[in-house]
Amino acid sequence: MTVLLLLGGCCGRENIWKTDTFSLTSDGVIQKEGDYRASAPDSRTLLSNYPEADIPEGRWVLSRDISRFAAYSAPTTFEEAVYNMALEESEKAVEADSTLRTGREWAGVWTRDVSYSTLLAMSHIQTGAARSSLLRKVDSRGRIIQDTGTGGSWPVSTDRIVWAVAAWEIYKVTGDGKWLETIYPVIKQSVEDDILTAYDADTGLVKGESSYLDWREQEYPLWMTPSDICNSENLGTACVHYRALRILSEMESLLGGADAGKYDTLADGIRDGINNYLWQEDKGYYAQYLYGRQFLTASPRSETLGEALAVLWDIASPEQARRICASVANQPFGTSCFFPNIPGIPPYHNDAMWPFVQAFWMKACAYAGNEKGVLHSIASIMRNAGLYLTNKENMVIGTGDWQGTQINSSNMLWSLSGNLSIVYSVLFGMNYGKDRLSFTPFVPKSMCGTRKLEGFTYRKAVLDITLEGYGSGISAFYIDGEKADAAVPGTLEGKHEVRIVLDSKIPSSQINMGPNAYSPDTPVCIRSGNTLNWEPCQGAKVYRVLGNGKPVRETEACFYQMEKYGEYQVVALGTNGYESFASEPVIFSNGNLITVPLAGFGKMESAPYTQYEGAGYLPLSLKENLEVSIPVNIPESGHYAIDFLYANANGTIQSENRCAIRTLWDGEQRLGVVVMPQCGLGEYGIWKYTSPRIVMMEEGEHLLRLTFQPENTNMNIDINSAAISKMRLIRINQL
């Protein structure tokens, strides 16, 4: 177990933060293993003896003119130099076309990267470039672009909506009404498409891949197909949709729209869904996501970005926020993306810390009043920047090294933005509102002293800001020597002096610090008659059997006799106290299954797909079969899982944007969307099932229809095609 030491009183600052792996001191960073060190002889220079530093000579020297930014003076030159390096890297990130490059090794603008970066710092550091970058991520139909994600992008991935939160942040920074009018229709159309496509009326949550965690096996069990991932409901993704809806409601009120109440109601539903379906009272934090097929169950892992956003955006109550920051697992080098990690998967999202996520976690800890969480995050981010002599994308959580991750980049936009947020968002506590810049500083006791930001620009004002002492509250706030509320009005013009005196009070706090850990392997189950069998999982002490998503038995054996019809899974419970992912669902059915071959229900066109077991297929494209009518006789009233066997060879699982989408109807009743993710570029013989639509159907004749609607337009726009071979209706058995 790692032992935390917080040494030194106010201004007696030999050790600012110390673990058994590294220390942040008044002189810089000392890492125990290898005696690696980073220091700053002055505010324009960083020295590092780390063997994998970005600059082989081990010396970074400021080489860009950063005089247009606020000059930062701090109690240590190391703080100043790390800040100045991040500013320089923000300048290097601006391309010739005035957009923000994602990273030195990552060209171009990516929606989620630039959006999270804008929220952390780019909204006020690189306002013009952030604007240009966001506008670059709007398609020809005026919608936010989901540029990355599994199986052909949106709607398997749905976190593009974080664009709305970033665009609103720019409005708050600038107060620019024309910008507000520009972004409003983009956000509204994107939200409306998501409501019809990804919102789950039963849970209140939002379907789609984990926000930024978009590398399948890195965060999901291996059995999950792109359709399964599309059907999952993730904490972080739900949080960004919640915040976007609140923002859209506020925009409606500002611009005279009529739908503010509608969007607030939807936001309330997401907040309630997060708290009803993801909150884990026994653990003190939210679950990672809901996943499965006919029935969804919660993955009990913590998910750091989602936990942070739930705290920052008041989805969590104040008491929940305090518990989250005290309960989520931290490791000595930082806080991993989720915890526990997955065995056998190399570090990238799994088994890794990302500085931008650490920055949001730092902000959440400050918001909840957790000093130790703030210090741990600041130290982790500064250690990376100082030793690497750049702001890297991620690092291996167990070693603190960027080497060993699957891919990486220097000068990473959201990492450098997270670095800058230490100063702006936490130490100075800057919060932009529609008509003011308010301050809620949080300076840990071991970081006390006087800090200054000179020449900070806020709208038409230039501010010299002095911050004195330590604490999480303000004892005095002055503008030009006059006492004032802790805010600068947006109407202020010209040069002014702001002085903030802190109250020297910090609430006591704890964090859950411990070694890195892994869950057991996911069981692989095979059905033999009414018996469910699985091989032993290393590290498992007992197995939990789930029936229809709920626990039905715990057993030390590796088999289970299924006595009732339903959908079954198995979870391995580890000797270390952690549990595996649930196994792939197995259906034990009484034969109440309707299968409808689809080859004869529309016009055949020339298409290269290989027939599925000789059953034939029906091609879907934007030219033919835009509506397919399928009569079906329901023998017994009840809930049915409806899915389609499909093939989509228009792109790989990892790339492209050609996910096929259609809307399913029962007569004139809209049942939901059918999403057909890409299965492999040119892989015309790969057939998969879509995720099921669970619907209530009455006994008798029904005319099911599969149609293309405007909201089914994918990110590619021009190519939205697949082939379907059969439709299944599986009667849901209640255990």
Q: Is residue 309 part of a domain?
A: no
> From CA 558, how far away is CA 62, in angstroms rounded?
61
For the segment 566-594, the average pLDDT, to the nearest whole number, is: 92
Residue 200 has which token pair? 């789950």
pTM: 0.96
Of the pLDDT bands very low, low, confident and very high (cuts 50, 70, 90), residue 605 is low
Q: Is residue 445 part of a domain?
A: yes
Domains held by the chain: number: 4
Residue 70: partners with Cβ closer than 8 Å, 6 or more residues away: 453, 454, 455, 456, 457, 465
Residue 76: partners with Cβ closer than 8 Å, 6 or more residues away: 13, 26, 27, 40
Q: Bridge partners of 286? A: 279
For residue 655, with 0-12 CB atoms within 10 Å meaning exposed, 13-18 middle and 19 or more buried, which class applies?
A: middle
Q: Which of these three, 495, 515, 535, is where a domain ends? A: 515
Q: What is the CATH number of the domain that holds 254?
A: 1.50.10.10
* Whether residues 693 and 623 fall in one domain: yes
Q: Which of these three, 588, 603, 628, is where a domain ends? A: 588
For the segment 172-196, the average pLDDT, to the nearest whole number, is: 98
Q: What percent of the chain has pLDDT over 90?
A: 92
Does residue 549 carry a pLDDT above 70? yes
Does residue 13 carry a pLDDT above 80? no
Q: Is residue 312 part of a domain?
A: no
**Mean pLDDT in the chain?**
95
Of the pLDDT bands very low, low, confident and very high (cuts 50, 70, 90), residue 8 is very low
* Whether residues 509 and 609 fall in one domain: no
CB atoms within 10 A of CB 96: 5
Query: For the segment 259-317, what is each residue's pLDDT rounded down to a tens digit?
Result: 999 999 999 999 999 999 999 999 999 999 999 999 999 999 999 999 999 999 999 99
Of the pLDDT bands very low, low, confident and very high (cuts 50, 70, 90), residue 156 is very high
Q: Is residue 315 part of a domain?
A: no
* Whether residues 496 and 429 fall in one domain: yes
For the segment 540-555, the average pLDDT, to the nearest whole number, is: 96
Contact 360, 325 (CB under 8 A): no
Q: What percent of the chain has pLDDT over 70?
A: 98
* Whether residues 229 and 338 fall in one domain: no
* Whether residues 1 and 108 fall in one domain: no
Q: What is the CATH number of the domain that holds 551?
A: 2.60.40.10
Residue 606: per-residue pLDDT: 61
Residue in this structure with the two tokens 């540029």, named with its chain if needed: 147
* Whether residues 229 and 151 fall in one domain: yes
Does residue 5 carry a pLDDT above 70? no
Residue 7: per-residue pLDDT: 36
Residue 6: per-residue pLDDT: 40
> 662 — phi, psi (to 5°)?
-140, 165
* Whether residues 532 and 657 fall in one domain: no
* Whether residues 509 and 527 fall in one domain: no
Does residue 324 carry a pLDDT above 50? yes
* Whether residues 36 and 124 fall in one domain: no
* Whether residues 601 and 565 fall in one domain: no
Q: Which of these three, 493, 515, 537, is where a domain ends? A: 515
Residue 3: per-residue pLDDT: 35
Q: Is residue 313 part of a domain?
A: no
Contact 635, 663 (CB under 8 A): no
Of the pLDDT bands very low, low, confident and very high (cuts 50, 70, 90), residue 168 is very high
* Whether residues 477 and 341 fall in one domain: yes
Residue 735: per-residue pLDDT: 67
Does residue 591 carry a pLDDT above 90? no
Q: Is residue 318 part of a domain?
A: no
Q: Which of 382, 360, 487 is closest to 426 using CA atoms?
A: 360
Q: What is the CATH number of the domain that holds 686?
A: 2.60.120.260
Query: For the segment 401-435, what is each residue's pLDDT rounded down to a tens digit?
Result: 999 999 999 999 999 999 999 999 999 999 999 99
Residue 186: per-residue pLDDT: 98
Q: 3-state DSSP: the chain helix, strand, coil percent, rounded to 5? A: 25, 30, 40
Q: Is residue 669 part of a domain?
A: yes
> From CA 641, how far away is CA 643, in angstroms rounded?
7
For the segment 60-66, the average pLDDT, to the nearest whole number, is: 97
For the segment 601-629, the average pLDDT, to the nearest whole number, is: 86
Q: Which of 554, 553, 585, 557 is closest to 569 using CA atoms?
A: 585
Does residue 128 carry a pLDDT above 60? yes
User: What residues make up the domain containing 239?
Assistant: 93-290
For the segment 350-370, the average pLDDT, to the nearest whole number, is: 98
Does residue 603 carry a pLDDT above 80? no
H/E stretch holding 217 = none
Give 17-78 as a 3 state SS string. EECCCEEEECCEEEECHHHEEEEEEECCEEEECCCCCCCCCCEEECCCCCCCCCEEECCCHH
Does residue 462 carry a pLDDT above 60? yes
> 450 — phi, psi (to 5°)?
-110, 130
Residue 328 has which token pair? 């989520």
Q: Is residue 616 part of a domain?
A: yes
Query: For the segment 214-256, what is each residue's pLDDT rounded down to a tens digit?
Result: 999 999 999 999 999 999 999 999 999 999 999 999 999 999 9
Pairing of strands 638-647, 693-697: antiparallel
Residue 202: partners with Cβ closer than 8 Å, 6 or more residues away: none
Q: Which of 258, 372, 238, 226 is closest to 307 using CA atoms?
A: 238
Q: Bridge partners of 495? A: 462
* Whether residues 483 and 557 fall in one domain: no
